[in-house]
């Protein structure tokens, strides 16, 4: 609901217009939606990684 309210505050009556074009200024005003995206990426990282461990001595 808070994300929808934020979009409604930014775009007003044009929120559901199919021809609505977002600007960089609009994106910069989306503080709550940015926090949602960051928290989602924190909980579910996009890039996976593999931890590796050396099992024997290695000469370099």
Q: What per-residue confidence (pLDDT) applies to 26?
A: 93
Over 80: is that where the pLDDT of 49 sits?
A: no
Over 90: is that where the pLDDT of 17 sits?
A: no
* pTM of this structure: 0.65
Are 8 and 33 a contacting pair, CB within 8 Å? no
Q: What per-residue confidence (pLDDT) applies to 15?
A: 84
Which class for 41: exposed (0-12), middle (13-18), buried (19 or more C-beta within 10 A)?
Answer: exposed
Please compute the mean of the pLDDT values over residues 1-27 and round it to a whole number: 90
Domain ranges of the chain: 2-43
- Calpha distance 53→46 (Å, rounded): 23
CA distances from 51 to 18, 42, 60 (A): 46, 18, 20
Query: What does pLDDT average to over the chain?
Result: 89
Q: What per-residue confidence (pLDDT) applies to 24?
A: 96
Q: Which two tokens stand for residue 21?
A: 């074009």
């Amino acid at each position: 609901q808070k994300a929808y309210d934020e979009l409604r505050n930014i775009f007003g009556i044009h929120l559901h217009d199919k021809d609505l074009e977002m600007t960089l200024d609009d994106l910069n005003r989306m503080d709550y939606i940015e926090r949602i995206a960051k928290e989602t990426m924190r909980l579910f990282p996009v890039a996976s990684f593999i931890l590796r461990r050396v099992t024997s001595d290695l000469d370099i």
